[in-house]
Structure 1
Amino acid sequence: MKMSGGPASFNIKIILLILGIAIAGGTLFFTHDLVQRLQERERQIAELYAKSLEYIADPNVNSFDITFIFENIVKRIDFPLILTDADDNVIFQGFDVGVRNLEIDTSLTEDELQEFLREKVEELKKQHAPIEVTFDGTTVWRKIYYGDSELVRSLILFPYLQISFAIFFVLIAYFSFSYMKKTEQSNIWVGMAKETAHQLGTPISSLMGWTEMLRLYHENPDKVIDTADEIENDLSRLNKVTQRFSKIGSKPELKEENLFELLTRIVNYFNRRLPSSAQNLKMIIDGPEDLTVKINSELFEWVIENLVKNALDAIEYKHGEIKFHYYNEGNFVHLEVSDNGKGIEYKRRKDIFRPGYSTKRRGWGLGLSLTKRIVENYHHGKIFVKESVIGRGTTFKILLKK
């Protein structure tokens, strides 16, 4: 049984890595584009402010125009801004237009305030080139230093924060997935070991019994012949077990098999081995006797045996019934295995096919998981719980391609 991820697992990791890089790159590109557009908008506002100052410098401008400019331009500036003269000395003008959106400690002295603002000018120089305000079109009269608004600064940091959180959660998901995968693989190995012991245990126990029979009846030729036939049956059973395990992990050969004959063999096998308390148990085959399906008989018998064992664990032998109903419809052969047992809770229907899951106290939770693998991976079919009612029974459905 193949347990390693192999090339397919490696390819999935590469695809996920490429996808993650693409998402991160797309996020950075989109945010960078948005930041650039916002920065351009803020620069346009700063330039408009510069034009307004040039306009205000005209001695013919009345006070109403100045008030209009303050109310509609200056007040709407939401980014740090400092107005200086041509030599970078900070200018305090009326209407609070010289310094905008800076957190200033009101307890600072005038000298300390000037020093604080000079440091801020140096910081703003590193962010953007100043916008020059000219007088008479040639002489630099003022300079406007401005920085990014709080929104722009947040947007610059946002993708890195987003990617950091994404990496954090991806790492948690990766380690959780790895842990779950290791646990599942461990359950599979333990289950396979127990399944092997179980599969081999029954015929080996029978062989030990037949050996004792040979000792007791060695002088009775008829008994010896009957015992030899039973030994041959159990040896065939052992050979079938080895064939089954040898096909797990490799591509099995599929051949046309008569479904009625296969089900009949399995029913006869269980009827011979049921305890005396199960004499009233009925196993019914309902379907056309000539219907064939492309399967691997050794593996598919294992599927049916696991479903029968699952049904036997769920029913009361005195009134128990297991029914095999199959028919041909569309592109599939439909096979339903029903019992009148305890039923399965709705919330547990998906779990029953998970490796390691078992409702039995000493179960190893591999039978139905192996059944699903054989049907879906090796026969390219489908198996699921068609119906289950607590106290009334369960129906498993298998779909096999023609």
Structure 2
Amino acid sequence: MLGKLGSANIKLLLLALSMAIVIALLLYTQSIVTQLQEREYTIANLSAKAYEYLGKDPTSEYDITFIFEEIIQKDIADFPIIIADPQQENYKSKNIDIPDEIQEDFDREQVFLRQEAEEMAKETPPIVLKSDDTTVVQYVYYAESDLVKALRVLPYIEIFVATLFILTGYLSFSYIKRHEQANIWVGMSKETAHQLGTPLSSLAGWLELLNSQTGDPEALSETINEMESDIGRLNRIAHRFSKIGAQPDLNKQDITETIAKTSEYLRKRLPASGKKVSIQFDNSHPVEARYNAELMEWVFENITKNALDAIGSTEGKISFDVSRSGKYVVVDITDTGKGIEKRYKKDIFRPGYSTKKRGWGLGLSLAKRIVENYHRGKLYVHESAPGKGTTFRMKIPA
């Protein structure tokens, strides 16, 4: 899915997702701030109403100071609040930081509270209490609590963190893509050298053999045929690389013939590798599928070479099994190599992943791309266990 989107679209998707998260956080934070502001206004208004009630009933036996202490001084109100008389000469306060040096000086304290009340009035209009329509009883000044002020700053912190997150994600994604592309370029270069190296080495060997077969026409003819085979292989390699990035032609044909052809080519060259490995395949039952023969040969070669590396220097066996399963043709390639640990089953198809010291980790990645991107099939590790070998399963439409 991500491969179809493209790196540019993935970056845009990540940016859009991050922006959506930031906007959601900002809206949520603003909602909380609004609710807290409404709560503080309600508490301040409740306090003012209590004073208004007392102002309308001057004969009440309740003391204003008592109401102030019960409603205002308790922890019901956790925001700065100042109550002034009608002449605004006497002030009472809560949650106001009064400097220590003026706490014992009533006049200076009153001046300080008056100044604080004036500053509060610039932000929020005071609540005016009246005993009737004209007579002012009290002024209630209040300001935002420290919590609300902190929440007002929170969106900027969120934007900074989100920006940092987006930047880090973008740089990380770009680094991963550059690293992956570098691995692919290096891998493709080495894969090209490897693909060309096998037939070229064979040709060099056939030329040496020709020099010793000048008096044997039959052997000479066989060697020439093998040389023609390697030259034909060089042409096929050129065609393979020309198809990378383009949509290949898929034709209905017998896949057992392609497997047999690949197996025979590799089987003849096994002695040169010094390994005692047998490649087994029974192609007595034709099975047709839609595929590109040149690219599919490449898939079988890469998987077989991976199996040879897994077997190492010991004796072993590689077998092919072809069957039909509904609308798909299933090919199982099984080896008796060292097997794959469960945690590495997905990594082996990642470009650049290799367990070999001089490996470049492109063979299986390329095989998977050919099967899944060009043939709309599947290539995966069907079975594997350390020390018991591995079975790769390929499924392509019939």
TM-score w.r.t. the length of structure 2 is 0.89
Alpha-carbon distance, 1:242 to partner: 0.8
Alignment match of 1:250 (pick from 246, 259, 264): 246
* One-letter identity of the residue aligned with 1:183: H
- Equivalent residue for 1:177? 173
Which residue of structure 1 aligns with residue 29 of structure 2?
31
For 2:202 and 2:276, the matched residues in 1 are separated by 24
Over 3 Å counting, the alpha-carbon distance change for 1:24 and 1:316 in structure 2 is closer
Kept in 2, the 8 Å contact 1:45–1:77? The answer is yes
Tell me the SS of whatever aligns to 1:103. Answer: coil
CA distance in 2, matches of 1:99, 1:290: 96
Post-superposition CA distance 1:154-176 (Å, at most 9, x none):
33223332232222223222222
SS of the counterpart of 2:100? coil
Superposed displacement of residue 53, structure 1: 0.9
Which residue of the other structure, out of 30, 38, 49, is the alignment partner of 1:51?
Answer: 49
Amino acid at match of 1:157: V
1-side partners of 2:282 and 2:218: how far apart?
37
Asked if structure 2 preserves the Cα contact closer than 8 Å seen for 1:277 and 1:318, the reply is: no
Matched residues, number: 392
**How far did residue 37 of structure 1 move?**
2.3
Query: Which amino acid letter does the alignment assign opposite residue 125 of structure 1?
Result: A
Cα–Cα, structure 1 residues 179 and 280, in superposed 2: closer, same or farther, change >3 Å?
closer
Structure 1's 241 and 129: CA in aligned 2 closer, same or farther, altered over 3 A?
same
Alignment correspondent of 1:79: 79
Q: 2:137 aligns with which of 135, 141, 147?
A: 141
Corresponding residue SS for 2:6: helix
- CA apart distance, 1:126: 3.4
| Letter aligned with residue 179 of structure 1 | Y
CA shift in 2, pair 1:82/1:129, >3 Å: same
- Output the CA distance in 1 between the equivalents of 2:385 and 2:4: 41
Contact 2:258 2:297 in 1 (8 A): yes
Does 2:96 match 1:102? yes
Deviates more, 1:121-130 or 1:106-115: 106-115
Residue type at the aligned position of 2:8 = F
Does the 8 Å contact 1:260/1:290 carry over to 2? yes
Residues 306, 367 of structure 1: 8 Å contact kept: yes
Q: CA deviation at 1:300?
A: 1.5
1:235 paired residue number: 231
Unaligned 5+ runs, structure 2: none
**SS of equivalent residue, structure 1 residue 275:** helix
Distance 2:167 2:151 in 1: 25
Deviation at 1:218, TM superposition (A): 5.0
What is the CA–CA distance in structure 1 between the aligned matches of 2:83 and 2:223, rounded to whole Å? 110
Q: Does 1:366 align with 2:365?
A: no
Aligned to 1:126: 122
Are 2:8 and 1:14 aligned? no
Shift in CA distance, 115/301, structure 1 to aligned 2, threshold 3 Å: farther
| 1:343 aligned onto 2:323 | no
1:358, CA displacement in angstroms?
A: 1.0
1:7 deviates by 8.3
Per the TM alignment, residue 140 of structure 1 is displaced from its structure 2 partner at its CA by 2.9
Please report how far the alpha carbon of residue 315 of structure 1 lies from its aligned counterpart in structure 2 after TM superposition. 1.4
Q: Which string of whole-angstrom CA distances, capped at 9 and with x for unpartnered residues, describes residues 245-268 of structure 1? A: 111111222222212111111111
Give per-residue Cα distances to partners, 1:348-388, cap 9 Å, x unaligned.
22221111111111111111111221122222222222221
Compare 233-242 and 54-63 and name the one that shifted more. Answer: 54-63
- Corresponding residue of 1:63: 62
Mapped pair 1:261 → 2:257: yes
Q: Deviations over 1:88-123 (max 9, x none)?
A: x4633xxxxx21112223332445534433442243
1:22, CA displacement in angstroms?
Answer: 2.4
Q: CA deviation at 1:279?
A: 7.4
8 Å CA contact retained: 2:15, 2:166: no
Structure 1 residue aligned with 2:384 = 388
User: How far 1:193 moved relative to its partner?
Assistant: 0.6
1:173-211, Cα deviation, whole Å (9 max, x unpaired): 222222222111111111111110010011112223333
**Against the structure 1 CA distance between its residues 279 and 289, is the aligned structure 2 distance closer, same or farther, given a 3 Å change threshold?**
farther
1:95 corresponds to:
none
Q: Which amino acid aligns with 1:107?
A: E
How far is 1:318 from its partner? 5.4
Amino acid at match of 2:49: K
Out of 188-197 and 154-163, give the one that drifted further.
154-163
Tell me which of 100, 113, 120 is aligned to 1:117: 113
Amino acid at match of 1:233: S
Q: Which moved more, 1:382-391 or 1:153-162?
A: 153-162
Does the 8 Å CA contact 1:260/1:287 hold for their aligned counterparts? yes
Q: Is the 8 A contact 2:18 2:162 kept in 1?
A: no
Aligned-partner Cα distance in 2 for 1:219–1:286: 38
Q: Deviations over 1:112-143 (max 9, x none)?
A: 53443344224322332221112322233322
Q: How far apart are residue 401 of structure 1 and its match?
A: 2.8
**For the residues of structure 2 that align with 1:136 and 1:142, how far apart are their CA atoms?**
12
TM-score (norm 1): 0.88
Residues 218-244 of structure 1: CA deviation (Å, up to 9, x unaligned): 565444433332221111100111111
Partner of 1:41: 39
Instruction: Tell me the C-alpha RMSD between the 2 structures.
Output: 2.7
Contact 1:55–1:61 (CA under 8 A) maintained in structure 2? no
Cα 1:156–1:277, aligned 2, differ >3 Å: closer, same or farther?
Answer: closer
Deviation for aligned residue 1:343: 1.1
Amino acid at match of 1:49: S
3-state SS of 1:63 partner: coil
Is the Cα contact below 8 Å between 2:214 and 2:220 reproduced in 1? yes
3-state SS of 2:340 partner: coil
Q: Is the 8 A contact 2:47 2:71 kept in 1?
A: no
More displaced, 269-278 or 257-266?
269-278
CA deviation after TM superposition for structure 1 residue 38, in Å: 2.1
In structure 2, relative to structure 1, the CA distance for the partners of 1:310 and 1:7 (3 Å cut) is closer
Whole-angstrom distance in 1 between the partners of 2:220 and 2:60: 128
State how far apart, in whole Å, the 2-side matches of 1:6 and 1:28 are.
33
